[in-house]
Amino acid sequence: MKHIYKIAVMFCLLMSITSCDETIDPVFVDDSRTFLSFTNATVNLPITIDDTGSVDLILNSSTVSSTDRVFNISLDAESNADPMTYVLPSTVLIPANSYQGTLTVSGVDNGLVDAAVKQIIFSLSDLPDTVDIDANRTVINVFEVCPVPEAYLVGDYMLVDNGNGNLLDGVVNVRIGGSATERVFETTFLPGTGVDTVLDVRISLACNVFSIGDVDISVSCTAGAAPFYIISNAGSANSTYSLASDTVHTVNYTEDPFTSCGPTATQNFTLTKL
């Protein structure tokens, strides 16, 4: 049985110190430091066949500045996307008097992109001593997509988990996501575990291949510490679809790729049109 814990951050503010345990010192926010984080640690960059694509990543800051702030970007050696298929800027800018900056990564097919997911992995480098960033590793999944009809894989479907307990069985409403080739539905992740959370599951239609996005609610089997228990893309084990049929779809994914709770495995769920 998996014993999964969810991270909880609790603050005892000075104003409410009487409600805190007397043996615990109050926690104060250090305004002299800046904390950075990207809104998502993993994003998709679908590139239309024989065409282009792009994705915007939002960098959040806990503080503002009266001047522009520029942070360097370092490409990780683990990246396996072809450099001829994308442009990753060398810096990301947070404008003056703003809490957020936008990093735009563009991609181009160049006859070199296919449905197999490749990754751009980067981090922020050379940060000032007063700047911190948690989990300084961002992953961009790069893959080819082909046009699909607007009505394909849209509407009410019966979701059936294959018995692994990751997703809740029941009727889900599948809708078009952030792009014409993305489908999204809402369900419960890890139902009945005590850390179950209702969230969106995102599936990219990558030229006859289903490519699922990471599902991550910061839970683990190590008392809330990394590595975390997630589900993610199945890579070479991704399942396929055909535009000739819109009745039953089986979507493969990787369970627990960081081995937080046990061995990594390929799992799946089925969507049957109602």
Q: What does the pLDDT look like over 214-269, one tens digit per residue?
A: 888 888 887 767 788 999 999 889 999 999 999 999 999 999 998 988 899 999 99
- Per DSSP, the residues of 214-263 read PB--SEESSTTPSSP--EE--GGG--B--TT--SEEEEEEEE-TT-SSS-
Please compute the mean of the pLDDT values over residues 155-161 and round it to a whole number: 97
Tokens of 253: 């994914």
Most confident of 11-20, 32-41, 142-151, 155-164: 155-164
CA distances from 56 to 14, 40, 103, 129 (A): 38, 10, 6, 27
Which pLDDT value is given to residue 4? 65
Cα–Cα nearest to 80, from 107, 44, 118: 118
Q: What is the pTM of this model?
A: 0.64
Across the chain, the runs of DSSP E, i.e. the strands, are: 5-6, 34-38, 42-48, 52-61, 69-75, 86-87, 91-94, 100-108, 118-125, 131-133, 138-145, 155-161, 170-176, 182-189, 197-205, 210-212, 219-220, 231-232, 248-255, 265-273
pLDDT band at 134 (very low <50, low <70, confident <90, very high): confident
Neighbours of 234 (CB within 10 A): 22
Q: Write out the two tokens for 67.
A: 């001047």
Closest CA to 93 of 79, 76, 73: 73
The set of residues, in sequence order, having a beta carbon less than 8 Å from that of 245 and lying 6+ positions away, is: none
Burial 173-206 (b: 16+ CB within 10 A, else e): ebebbeeebbbbbebbbbbebebbeeeebbbbbb
Q: What are the structural domains, with CATH classification, of the chain?
A: 34-145 (2.60.40.1740), 155-273 (no CATH)
Can you give the pLDDT at residue 190? 93
pLDDT digits (tens, 9 = 90+) for 174-195: 999 988 899 999 999 999 988 9
3-class secondary structure, 110:
coil
Examine the pLDDT at 15 and tell me if it is beyond 50: no
- Note the pLDDT tens digit of each residue in 77-129: 999 999 999 999 999 999 999 999 999 999 999 999 987 889 999 999 999 99
Residues 2-17: b if buried by 16+ CB within 10 A, e if exposed: eebbeeeeeebeeeee
Q: HSE, CB side, 13 Å, CA atoms: give it for residue 205.
A: 24
